Each structure stands twice: as structure tokens, then as C-alpha cells.
Structure 1
Amino acid sequence: MLDKTAGPAFRIDGDVAVVAAVAALTIFRLLAMAHIGLVPDEAYYWLWSKAPSAGYYDHPPMIAWWIWLSTKIAGEGAFGVRLFPVLSIAVTSWATYMTAIELFGDRAIARTAAIWVNAMFLIGLEHVFATPDAPSTMFWALTTLALSRLRRTGYAPIWLVVGLLAGAGCVSKYTNLFLGLGILAWLALDPAARRFRFDPWVFLGGAVAFLTFLPVLVWNAFHHWVSFEKQFGRIGHGAAGNSHTAEFLAGQIGLINPVLAVLASVTVWTYLRRRPLFARSPQTFLIALNAPLCLYMIVQSLHDRVHPNWTAPLYPAMAILASLAATDGLSSTWLVRVSRWATPIGIGLTSLILAAYATPLGRNVPLRSPADNVLGWRGLYRGLDDMRHRNAAQWIATTDYGLTAELAFQAKGEVPIIQIVDRQRYTFENPDPSVLDKTGLLVVSAAEEERFDRYKQCFGASSPVETIHREAGDRQIELYFVVTVSRAPADLLSTGCGL
């Protein structure tokens, strides 16, 4: 693993510096995220973790398994929920470093790529949260590493490792199914992969991937394919001709890190222009492996909005391609100079944002921002709990999965929190039916004001309306309507409130 073209001290110092930087970032992120409240989706996945399963309504189960294990290790707070996602960034950084070594044998490219993974805004600001993107990206990067080792060594049994890692990626997020298409594209386009095209080990690796993913398939089969229908039902939706491509590309440039996006594009453009010269190059491997997902997202953006995080698994490869442009003479001198700012800006800005919101300073910002999603939940629950005791209510009824999850995370089982619509989300729960015979507290966001009266009509009786705010410091973030309700329908827990 040592670069024989450089002196030992330089090699060791360079690698140690990268390890130290990633370790320091990991420790900082763990400390910061321990003091930032959960976003609604995280609280929702925490709810999943209370009933481990092979599948759920929205996603495959890996993030729930992670949270189940990490909260057993580190407790039920934000630190415990986010432990594995934050650590996964370090694993992804290592996988990116090793992939670059396998492909190019150049430690300068590898070190730069590992650091630049952490300088990408989406990684630094989204993968620190407990969402399916963290395991999805990590397993994609690890699968890429295994394939790069396979490409270099030709050791066919590595296909079994590839299958296991690729299958685990699909258990993390269905997006990782595109990696299977990428592997087929690599086998077809890279002359270095010719020897594997009809190798029995390829099919054995595919069998391992299928067996790893099989529990998710079985769960879906027993639940009317609800998870597949929800995720794959997005394909082809949207108005024809309603292009969001410019929005998608601009968003990706910003989230990758504009400098790194340009550098990666330079490498791809150079490769496409000179493909006959580069046919056997490692660029063929990286581009072919990641092209199916990238092309699908571009096509999807032609008629529907693409969520910016959907491309996250591509980012480690982009870091390598960007590093190649900066260190292998593919970019102009001025762009190489500008690239020196990618790390301090990317890592510095994301770290500053996390540090701010981990302190009272960030929690008291007087402006609305996406960070409002993590603020005010504890105070809201305390206020609702006071109202519940005052009205002798025994449970809290909600109409939104985010509110349901946030209140459940704060309640920690002290009081049942039950969503009265979209009951298909909660097949993993087994609430006590006797709760329906008791007085409850219905909480509805003012954003659903038009449906509020219909929600009340689901119950036989309700009290006059009260209001409560979710607040950050002196700022009111969101208004909620609250009523005491009773005489719930007997089928509320199974079919929900019919509107």
C-alpha cells in the first residue's frame, strides 16, 4: 500500500494527516449532532426501530436496524440515533481512499478524494442525520471498492463480497438497485472486465445479492408490495414537458460543492472526448458503474422534480473524478488553484452550520430556515402534555407522520401517540385497542386547517378548539389546533379516519 515513488516520511505524514482530519471531523460531528434535535424523518425511523422488521411502508429497513443497534449501544437520545450514520461518513471516506488506490495507485489522488468526500455539502449536512441515504451511500462506496479490487486482482471469489455489499445497499434504499445496472454496464464497456463476463462467480455474486435482499421482497409480498408501490410509483409521474432539469443540475452543483462539481465534470468531459485512448482506463470503471443512476435522474428531471439527496451514492465517485482532474493535469492551472478552496469552504461551512445549531445561538436565529425542522419539539410536547393532563386525555391523536414521530420520540412511551390517517404506515405497531374508549387529544397543524373539521368529525364528541405553538426562543415556528376528543370509531387503528 506504500507509494514507492515518494519518501517514507512524506507518505506516512500524508496518510496520517488524512486519518487525523477524518477522525477529528467524525468526533466533531458526533458531538455537534448530539445537541441538535431530530428532524421528523429521523424520529419516524426511530419509531421503526422500536419494532425491527424486514420492511416498512416508505423504505427498506437498514436505517431502522442501524438505529435499533446504535440506541442499544449509546442510548435513546440524538447521539444514539445518529451514531452509525455519522460513523458511516468515515467508512465512506476510507472506501473512497482505497478505491482510488486500487484504480490509480496514486496516494495523492486517494488522499484528496477522501478529504473531498467530507467537503461535499450534501455529505456534510445530510449524512450526519439518520436517514436511509447514509447506509445507501456507504454500501455503494464499499461495493465500488470491492469491484475495484476485483478489477485489479482478477480474484473471482470477490464477487461474493460484491453481492453481499450490493444486497445490503438495496436493503438500505431501493436507489441502490441501479448499482446492479452499473455493474452490467461496466462488464459491457470496460475491456478490463471482459474476463468476468461469463464467469460463474458473477452469477454466484448475483445470487448472494438476491438472498441478502430476499427478506425485503418477502415482507413486501406479505404487505401488498406497498413499499415498492410507494417508491417506484414515482417513476414517470409529473407533467409532460414540465422540465426541472435546470433546477436539478444547479442543485447538484451546489450540493456537491461547485468547485468539485466542475472538476469532476472536467474529468468526465476529457474521458468522453478521448474515449478510444481511455477505454481501458479506470475512468471507464467509475463512469460506467455510476452512469445508470445519473442518467435516470436526468431523465426523471425532464418531467418531475428530483429530490437532491437521491444522487448521494454518486458522490464518492465524483470525489475521485474531481481529485483526478486536480492532480493528473486534466484541469487548467487556475482551476487547480481554485480547487485549494474546496476543502476549507466545504468542510468549514458545513462545520460552522452544525456548530451554530448545536448551540443556543443557532436555536435562536430570528429567521425561518430549514433548520426549523429540528427546533421546538420538546417544548411543544411539554405544552401538549400539560393540556392532556388538564383535559384528562389518555392519548394523543395526530394527522401527520412527522408530528407523530416527533411527539413519540419526546414521549418515550409515556403516552400513546397515534396517527389517525395513513394507517398503512404503521403496520409495525400494535397499539392497545382499548385506547379508543378513552378521551384523547387531537393535534392538527394549522397547515391542515381546511381538513381540521373533517378530522374532528371522525370522533363522536370534541371540545372547543385550543391552540399551541412550536417555538424557537421567542419565535413562533408553527401553529397547531388542539381539541379533546372521545368516542373514536372502532376501526380507527386499522383503516384510519375516512375523509
Structure 2
Amino acid sequence: MILVLLLNLLLFIFRLFYILYYPVDLSPEEAQYWDWSRHLDLSYYSKPPMVAYLNFLTTKLLGNTELAVRITPMILSFVLSILTYIFVRRIFGPRVALVCATLPQITVGYSINSLLMTTDAPFVFFWSLSVMAIHTAFEKNEKKLWILVGILSGLAFLSKYPAVFLLPITLLYMAFIRKDLLMSPSPYLSLIPAFILSLPVFIWNYQHGFVSFKHVSTLASKSDSLIELSGALEFLGGQALLLSILPFLVLLYAWLKSLKDRKLVFFTFYSLPVFLFFLILSFHKRVEANWAGFSYFSGFILVSYFLSRSFLLIPSYLLSFVLFIFLHFTPLFDIFKITPLLPPERDPTKFLVGWKDLGKRVSQLYTGSEMIFSPQYQVSAELAFYVKGNPRTYCVNLGRRMNQYDLWKEGMENYIGKSAIFVSVGPAEKRVLSAFGGIIKEEIYKVIWRGKEVRTFYIYKLKDYRGLEESLPMGY
């Protein structure tokens, strides 16, 4: 236990210094979720409200800083690792528990979720606690444990919608493994607190035309072709990278072997069906690598069980650590002359740079009275965070799908006759310029990362706002 605490404390300190001193800014999604925390609501367009609530708490304590936003995933990761050790040690012993509480922390997927404040950070935390509570509830079948399962499941749902997987997986496990509990009333008590906690999301969606469910259904159904093998291969490659390659290969073996072991099969039920669901979906549409990431809590328990007695244990730690270092410090690809493995234009870190400097440039034009707006919600969110004074920003629809800012249009009419600052990833459209009396100033800002231009912003200060005719959202 002391070793687990020490290793995770070292990781916590590393992440703290990384946030404070390494030159990366908030990602667009992080900035958006922070902006949500300034507009507290029962739910939001694309996600439930947990990420906004947590940001609200930390920014009230630490101010509108990058540390305030990112301290939550750091804390959740640390706490989850300790609870995982206690849970796994009770079932499989200290050796497996040690692997399970340390190896995932240096894999690519867990490293990202331990640093970036996206919806995945609280979701992975509450999903993992739910799985641990469900396992314990299956062992003891006590009403209080099933009520705890419902509370944790409800919190997981308030974090991200894929928490709904918990219900069919649990029923499936009962149908195949614990038939004795199908007729017991205790497991169904969990539905009560889960429903109560989820109710605000349904109320908000009822008030807003169920836009969240339309958005999720669009993501799950939108497809360019009937069958696309390249999408499935891309998904599998993404999963292998998230688990730092060797653990992923061990997981495939573990899923197969666990089917004959009653003690292990529980963790297969809470990981394999999710993986298969997204794998099948990837044959029809693009599936982001992180979508299945939450299921690997259970998967890593299986991996740790088999790795703890395998010659692949040390290589898994070594490879994971190497990927961990290169993930956090991608300029190392250039230093070691291996740039083709991850060129700057494909480096995911490019989405974390340039925003603070963009905010400084806009701040030089901003006197406090101008409307700040963009056609990209990512830009609007970043400007809200990085422009001096954290002003209210707007996102205008010039022909794209809906986002949260489409629900926040009130106030733009107050800027009629005033100046505005428009920022976009492309030159201003004619209809934007025609909505004003003229251009006061315009400039271009190029973001350079690892010696290459990775993004360009067009900045305009405009006078005499007359009102802008926007496009209807092109889908959800």
C-alpha cells in the first residue's frame, strides 16, 4: 500500500508541475466545459452537467486558472488508483493489486484522463466505482449496497451518457451467471437513486426539445458507407495505443481465458461488451478512440491478473513508460530524429498550444465593451478563458451543426451599434463583414509548434454592428 501511495503521489506531483510549467494551454473541450461552469444548468447540449459542476467548485476555490480546471482529473485519478488497489487486493491479492494500481496510470489513455478535464475524467471515476460497488453487491446482495450502486451509477450518468451500459450489462450478467438474483428485489432498488439523479437531465432535455438525445443518436448513426474496414482498423489501433500496446494484447488473451473462470468473468462482462459494441459501430462510422476507454477499468483488472505472473510484466511497464514520456513531451520525436512517427501536423498536442497567445492578441484589441465572437465554438470557448477579464463570448452559426453556444444567443442584440472582435480559423465571410460598418483592424496569427505552422487565426476588429443573419444548424 505504501508503494502504491508513493508512486501515485509522484505522478500527482509530476502532473502538477506539468500543468504549471509546460507550455500547453487548455484544450478547446476543456475551455468549453469551463465556460459551461459559468452558466450552471440542469444539463447541456452534448453532455450531462457533472463536468460543469466540478469546474464550478474548483474555479471558485482556485480562480479561473489552468490548474483550477485540471486539478479535478488529477485528484480523481489519484483517489481511484488507491481504491482500485484496495478492491483488487481483496479479490486477487497484493501482487495483482499493485500492478492494477500503477500500470494503468502510465498508459496513454489513463494519462490523458488524469490530466485533461474532459467529461471522461469524472465518468471513468464514477463508472469504476460503480463496477466495484456492483461486484461487492453481487457478493453480499445487501439492499444498502444496491442503493450505493444506484447512487454511483447516477453520478456516472451525470458525467457521460454511456453510463447506460451499466444496466444491460448487469442484467446480462445476472441472466448468465447470477440467475439466483434475477428474482431478488434487492438489485432493482439501484434503479431508484439512479433514476432520481438522472431526472434533471431528462427535465432539461424536455425543455430543450431533447437535443442531447438527438445529438447522441446522430453520433451513433451518421455513416458515410455501409461497411468500412479502415474504420475498424483505426479503432483497433486507437485502442491498442490507449492501453500502450502490450496491455491491449494481453487483454485480448485475458478476455478469452476468463470465460471459463467464474472469478474473472465478471470483469469480462463489464469490459468486452462495450469494446464489441464500439468495434461493430466502427465498421459503419468513425469511432473516437476514447469512446470505449471507460470499459478498460475492468479490462485492466484482467490484464493485471495475467501480467502479474507473466514475463511481459516488465516490458509492459517499460513500453508504457516510454509512451508516457513521449506523450507528454512530443518535441522528443524531433530531438531523437523520429519526427515521421508523429509529425507536428498529426501531433494531438497541437490542439493545446497557441490559445493563450491568441487570447493576448485579442486582449490588446479589447477595451471591455466590444462583442467577441467566432463561428467556431472552440475559438469562442478559448477566448472566454484567455482574453483578459474572461468576457462573455458568442458563437455564430455560419453553416455547421448545433452546439451549446447556439442556446446562448441572448445578449448579442445589446451590441447593435457597437464594435466587435471576430476571430476565425479562416478569413471572414462576406455576410460577417456586411453586418458591420467597416474594419478597424485585421491581422493574422499563425501558431507554430515543433517548428511547423499548425494553425492560423484571422482576427478582425469591426465597427458599428448592425445584426448578423445566421444559418440554421446543419444537424445535431
What residue ranges of structure 1 are gaps of 5+ in the alignment? 1-14, 329-335
Do the aligned residues in 1 keep the contact of 2:244 with 2:323 (CA within 8 Å)?
Answer: no
Tell me how far apart the structure 2 counterparts of residues 388 and 399 of structure 1 sit (CA, whole Å): 18
Change (3 A) 1:127 1:452: farther
- The percentage of counterpart residues that share the same residue type is 24
Q: Which has the larger radius of gyration?
A: 1
Residue 233 of structure 2 aligns to a residue whose secondary structure is helix
Q: Secondary structure at the match of 1:25?
A: helix
Where does 1:299-378 land on structure 2 (aligned, <5 Å)?
299-327=280-308, 336-351=310-325, 353-354=327-328, 367-368=344-345, 369-378=347-356
In the other structure, the counterpart of 2:186 is 201
Query: Are the counterparts in 1 of residues 371 and 420 from structure 2 also a CA contact under 8 Å?
Result: yes
Q: TM-score, normalised by structure 2?
A: 0.88
Aligned residue identity for 1:245: A
SS at match of 1:467: strand
Cα 1:484–1:75 shift into 2, 3 Å: closer
Which residue of 453, 456, 475 maps to 1:479? 456
Distance in 2 separating the partners of 1:442 and 1:197 = 59
1:159 counterpart = 2:138: no
Q: TM-score, normalised by structure 1?
A: 0.84
Query: d(CA) in 2 for partners of 1:162 and 1:171?
Result: 14
Q: Separation in 1 of the partners of 2:227 and 2:392?
A: 46
Aligned twin of 1:10: none
Deviation at 1:146?
0.6
Contact 1:139 1:165 in 2 (8 A): yes
CA contact (8 A) 1:48 1:428 kept: no
Go from structure 1 to structure 2 and tell me whether the alpha carbon gap of 1:488 and 1:496 turns closer, same or farther (over 3 Å shift). farther
Partner of 2:371: 395
Whole-Å separation in 1 of the counterparts to 2:50 and 2:463: 38
Q: Are 2:276 and 1:290 aligned?
A: no
The root-mean-square deviation of aligned C-alpha atoms, in Å, is 2.8
* Structure 2 contact 48–158 (Cα < 8 Å) conserved: yes
Q: Pick one of 29, 49, 53 that aligns with 1:65.
A: 53
Once the two structures are superposed, the pairs formed by residues 38-187 of structure 1 within 5 Å of their partners are 38-102=26-90, 104-187=91-174
Q: Please say if residues 92 and 316 of structure 1, whose CA atoms lie closer than 8 Å, have aligned partners that are also in contact.
A: no
Report the Cα distance in structure 2 between the residues aligned to 1:454 and 1:245, rounded to whole angstroms. Answer: 41
1:93-115 superposed Cα distances (whole Å, 9 cap, x missing partner): 2343233234x342211111111
1:409 and 2:385 matched? yes
d(CA) in 1 for partners of 2:292, 2:111 = 15
Q: Could you list the per-position Cα deviations for residues 440-495 of structure 1 after superposition, in whole angstroms to 9, with x for gaps in the alignment?
A: 1222212xx5x7234334x1433287332143477544222333434545576xx6
2:411 alignment partner AA: P
Structure 2 gap ranges (5+): none
Matched-pair contact (CA < 8 Å) for 2:239–2:289: yes
Q: Are residues 1:16 and 2:2 paired?
A: yes
CA offsets per residue over residues 101-157 of structure 1, 9 Å max, x none?
Answer: 34x342211111111221321111344101000111111100011112122333232
What letter corresponds to residue 355 of structure 2 in structure 1?
W
Aligned residues: 456
Within 1, Cα distance between the matches of 2:36 and 2:64?
13
Question: Which shifted more, 309-318 or 162-171?
Answer: 309-318
Range 197-206 or range 147-156, more displaced: 147-156
Q: Deviations over 1:38-61 (max 9, x none)?
A: 011101111001111111111111
User: 3-state DSSP class of the match of 2:423?
Assistant: strand
Following the alignment from structure 2 to structure 1, what is the Cα–Cα distance between the partners of residues 278 and 355?
A: 34
| Structure with the larger RCO, 1 or 2 (CA within 8 Å, 6+ apart) | 1
Aligned-residue offset at 1:306: 0.7
Deviation at 1:393, TM superposition (A): 7.2
